[in-house]
Amino acid sequence: MNRGLKALLMTVVVSAACTLPAPIGQTQVPTTVPTAANTPTPAPTPTRTPNPFPNPVLKITGAEEVVFDWTTDRCEALNLPDLPTRAFRGADGQVQLILSHFVNYRMIGPDLDHLQVDCHLLMGSQHDADPSRYADSEWIASPYTEDGQTIYAVVHNEYHGWEHPGQCSQGSYYPPCWYNTLTLAVSKDGGQTYAPAMPPPGHFVAGLPYQYERDGGPAGLRNSSNLIKGKDGYYYQYANVAYIASDNQGVCLMRAQNLADPTSWRFWDGSGFNGQFVDSYLHPPANPDEHTCDALEWENIGASLNDSISFNTYLGRYVLLGLSADQVGGREVWGFYYSFSDDLIHWTHRKLLAEMVLPWTAARFDDVMYLYPSLLDPDSDSRNFETTDKTAYLYYTRHNQGQGSLDRDLIRVPVEFFPSP
């Protein structure tokens, strides 16, 4: 049985963000690296100065700590951590940590070590049955603010065809009727409430250049990383892309210069940020391949190393974190992996941070399992926690009773960067 089919059969989701099949090609590189047209596009070799830490590693150095306990801390049953953890400092200096789901809440406090749940709803979901409006089930995925008062947020939008009459051949959770896009929301009151930055579908940020097709998925762009501002002034993020009519997934790199403009995002096409996303309902493309984001650095970061991006001031390098697998000690090991970069484009071969039980590797659907790793450093001087230093925290979601349960806690453990293994 292929890995994608196995994951489809094992994954059970109840009122929570859907889990795609296990990404294909994590441990064995296909003969041709998957791109939009299934043709590899060479990237230029960057000019680098010698790095003082040629082989750094990241290690867990302490025990688990519960940040959010669903059993005791939730505001309602659907209040749970269902995407990688994001945080920022508001204009009042208070830290806001997003508890993202299709009902979105936050934790708030003076710093990352002292947070309390705020039961004021930040943003719900529109559950619009029209796929052309990109406004169905909506997760706040990637907030970013320059001043702590106006916050722009890339939204993870899931169109659930099985929940809308006539849009799916099945009446319950059915991955082929799952269509993902990224949209833009904004808060103008310091993070108390969020709404579409423009009336739908004008808030469309990124997706595949194909319209929703009943039973034609799962496909689309999903689970975007946090936003990070590069030295060039652009805002960068990574996202998982599941291609149409294919088991292949990849990591899409995109950037924008103006967060207020959802049309300003461009993706890396192998030679530059020349790729433009297109709303396939308003502007059906003559050549969809030109508007399909290629898989970035497939051999090194695999298909889903896109949960968290930060700049490490100790190493002087970027760190990308996510889910993956590789051959470790002669066997295939799934879990949380990381990679380093000098330029956000070229990445070292991924390294294992922690072997973890994931939804598609669990022996039983009700086993304890883990998802959504991210790095956050309480000492970061970035308003958006874009930096880490020698020590930080690894945050992740623990599914206490498996993927089919709402009982999910937000966990963190201390981690440390070392100059060599």
- Do 394 and 60 touch, CB atoms closer than 8 A? yes
Task: Tell me the two tokens of residue 338.
Answer: 């990381």
- Do 90 and 118 touch, CB atoms closer than 8 A? no
CA–CA–CA angle 333, 338, 341 (5° rounding): 140
| Confidence check: pLDDT of 48 > 60 | no
| Confidence check: pLDDT of 225 > 50 | yes
Angstrom distance (rounded) from CA 48 to CA 53:
13
Cα first-last separation, the chain: 36
Angstrom distance (rounded) from CA 217 to CA 397:
26
Angstrom distance (rounded) from CA 238 to CA 309:
8
Give the chain's largest Cα–Cα span.
59
Interval 175-192: pLDDT, tens: 999 999 999 999 999 999
- Do 144 and 187 touch, CB atoms closer than 8 A? no
Angstrom distance (rounded) from CA 177 to CA 264:
29
Phi, psi values for residue 307, rounded to 5°: -80, -35
Lowest mean pLDDT among 39-48, 214-223, 238-247, 255-264: 39-48
ω into 40 cis (within 30 of 0)? no
Q: Tell me what the mean pLDDT of segment 347-364 comes to.
A: 96
| Confidence check: pLDDT of 357 > 70 | yes
Angstrom distance (rounded) from CA 184 to CA 116:
26
Which residue carries 């060599």 as its tokens? 420
Q: What's the pLDDT score for residue 47?
A: 43
Which residue carries 């907030």 as its tokens? 143
Q: Tell me what the mean pLDDT of segment 90-102 comes to.
A: 98
Q: How far is CA 340 from CA 69, 136, 418, in A?
A: 32, 35, 13
Task: Tell me the two tokens of residue 244.
Answer: 């149409």
| Confidence check: pLDDT of 313 > 70 | yes
Amino acid 175 reads: P
Annotate the chain with three-state secondary structure: CCHHHHHHHHCCCCCCCCCCCCCCCCCCCCCCCCCCCCCCCCCCCCCCCCCCCCCCEEEECCCCEEEECHHHHCCCCCCCCCCCCEEEECCCCCEEEEECCCCEEEEEEEECCEEEEEEEEEECCCCCCCHHHCCCEEEEEEEEECCCCCEEEEEEEEEEHHHCCCCCCCCCCCHHHEEEEEEEEEECCCCCCCEECCCCCCCEEECCCCCCCCCCCCEEEECCCCCEECCCCCEEEEEEEECCCCCCEEEEEEEECCCCCHHHCEECCCCCCCEECCCCCCCCCCCHHHHCCCCCCHHHHCCCCCCEEEEECCCCEEEEEEEEEEEECCEEEEEEEEEEECCCCCCCCCEEEEECCCCCCCCCCCCCEEEEEEEECCCCCCCCCCEECCEEEEEEEEECCCCCCCCEEEEEEEEEEECCC
Lowest mean pLDDT among 30-34, 138-142, 198-202: 30-34
Task: State the number of CA atoms in the 13 A half-sphere of 150 facing the CB.
Answer: 4
Q: What's the pLDDT score for residue 12?
A: 32
Domains of the chain with CATH codes? 3-418 (2.115.10.20)
Q: pTM to 2 decimals?
A: 0.90
Interval 21-44: pLDDT, tens: 565 444 443 333 333 333 333 334
Residue 403 pLDDT grade (very low, low, confident, very high; cuts 50, 70, 90): confident
Angstrom distance (rounded) from CA 33 to CA 43:
13
Q: What's the pLDDT score for residue 376?
A: 98
Interval 253-282: pLDDT, tens: 999 999 999 999 999 999 999 999 999 999
> Which residues sit opposite 181 in a β-bridge?
157
